[in-house]
């Protein structure tokens, strides 16, 4: 009986110690629970971007994130030196990550499979890898301004910048998951401990109206045009006139989205949607259409194109300073006569012409689904 009592007393003592320890950690000092708990983020795969025919524009590739479990590292100097040689990173940068007060520290992002295999061959304790999705551009900068790029936010997570990457960032990004594990006193996962895993939700794929073959051709022609006319920059847009779907959009100079950090911020601006341009002679059909709708002119209305005309402090001439005398407004439109447009404007009056032009959408956003649009 004495042995049985001792055994029972010992069991009760251990039970009381465990209960008191749990009470101390969970009730009196709940912050200490973090010392016995490991939480790691699981990154989702970002949505891919395709053209209208399913041809890839922006894809993903698997790289790796290297992390330390500092309390498990046995040889700090050897670990630092070995990783410095493989990753081509300063030893001081790696050494600073070995903080024994922490259970887990991130060391390097974008580690290739070759680098990962070389590190694993070292068989050094206290290191591990997480898969990491990275953007891959099969045709480099074929659609840099249109697609945009993926940069880093202040907390180090991926975030879409510019173009469709920026506009549809929440759709493409997906939702991260996590792994939560119980740890022992040495900070190691407990084999029979509680482990919770929430899988990440991958981002949604995006299909553009762009035709990749047209996009490639437009960029080639635009590049040739800039060289021929010694222009510093230029943009070209191809749209379906029936639906106004954008089939191609290219601006030069552009950049490589993979190494966006090597370029000046000014090159990220998509001039096709962010800059304001004078419409020039493309404005003339709109002026004539509004004049006809207002009933102040007809297509065959005659006017005198005898020479330059004064509008306030400005003298308006034809583009070639050639004048044909009495002609119809149809002829004025055919020859792109600035003087003819002044005639229509005088019939409309400033306020009515201005208000009627606004009805075409001038001064408004087109609401194109790319980041960085300015009002027209």
**Class of 212-262 in CATH:** alpha beta
At which residue do the structure tokens 């989205």 appear? 257
Dihedral over Cα of 285, 291, 294, 297: its sign: negative
Give 305's contacts (C-beta < 8 A, 6+ positions apart): 318, 323, 324, 325, 326, 327, 332, 337, 339, 340
pLDDT digits (tens, 9 = 90+) for 244-301: 999 999 999 999 998 898 999 889 999 999 988 888 899 999 999 999 999 999 999 9
Q: Is the pTM of this model over 0.75?
A: no
Q: Is the pLDDT of residue 184 over 70?
A: no
d(CA 321, CA 282): 19
Q: Is the pLDDT of residue 8 over 70?
A: no
Note the pLDDT of residue 131: 84
pLDDT band at 25 (very low <50, low <70, confident <90, very high): very low
- Overall fold of domain 280-358: Beta-lactamase (3.40.710)
Q: Are 69 and 187 in contact (CB under 8 A)?
A: yes
- The domain locations on the chain are 212-262, 280-358
pLDDT digits (tens, 9 = 90+) for 225-234: 999 999 999 9
Beta strands in 137-224 (DSSP E): 149-152, 158-161, 177-182, 195-198, 206-207
Q: Are 98 and 68 in contact (CB under 8 A)?
A: yes
d(CA 318, CA 320): 5
The DSSP symbol for 232 reads S
């Amino acid at each position: 009986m004495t042995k049985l009592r001792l055994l029972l007393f010992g069991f009760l003592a251990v039970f009381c110690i465990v209960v008191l320890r749990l009470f101390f950690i969970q009730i009196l000092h709940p912050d200490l629970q973090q010392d016995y708990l490991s939480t790691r983020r699981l990154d989702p795969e970002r949505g891919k971007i395709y053209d209208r025919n399913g041809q890839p524009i922006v894809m993903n590739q698997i790289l790796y994130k290297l992390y330390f479990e500092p309390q498990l590292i046995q040889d700090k100097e050897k670990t630092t030196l070995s990783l410095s040689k493989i990753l081509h990173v300063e030893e001081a940068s790696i050494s600073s990550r070995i903080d024994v007060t922490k259970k887990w520290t991130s060391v390097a992002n974008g580690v290739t499979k070759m680098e990962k295999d070389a590190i694993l061959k070292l068989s050094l304790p206290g290191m591990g890898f997480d898969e990491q999705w990275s953007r891959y551009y099969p045709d480099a900068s074929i659609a840099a301004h249109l697609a945009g790029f993926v940069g880093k936010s202040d907390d180090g997570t991926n975030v879409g910048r510019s173009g469709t990457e920026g506009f549809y960032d929440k759709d493409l990004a997906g939702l991260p998951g996590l792994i939560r594990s119980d740890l022992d006193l040495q900070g190691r996962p407990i084999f029979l401990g509680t482990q919770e895993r929430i899988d990440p939700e991958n981002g949604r794929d995006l299909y553009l109206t762009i035709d990749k073959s047209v996009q490639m051709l437009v960029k080639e022609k635009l590049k040739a045009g800039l060289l021929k006319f010694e222009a510093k920059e230029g943009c070209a847009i191809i749209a379906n006139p029936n639906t106004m779907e954008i089939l191609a959009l290219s601006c030069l100079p552009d950049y490589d989205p993979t190494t966006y950090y090597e370029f000046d911020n000014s090159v990220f601006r998509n001039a096709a949607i962010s800059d304001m341009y004078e419409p020039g002679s493309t404005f003339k059909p709109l002026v004539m259409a509004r004049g006809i709708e207002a009933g102040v002119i007809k297509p065959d209305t005659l006017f005198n194109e005898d020479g330059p005309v004064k509008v306030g402090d400005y003298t308006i001439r034809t583009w070639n300073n050639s004048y044909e005398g009495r002609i119809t407004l149809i002829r004025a439109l055919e020859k792109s006569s600035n003087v003819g447009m002044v005639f229509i404007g005088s019939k409309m009056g400033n306020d009515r012409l201005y208000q009627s032009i606004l009805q075409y959408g001038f001064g408004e956003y087109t609401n194109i689904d790319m980041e960085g649009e300015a009002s027209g």
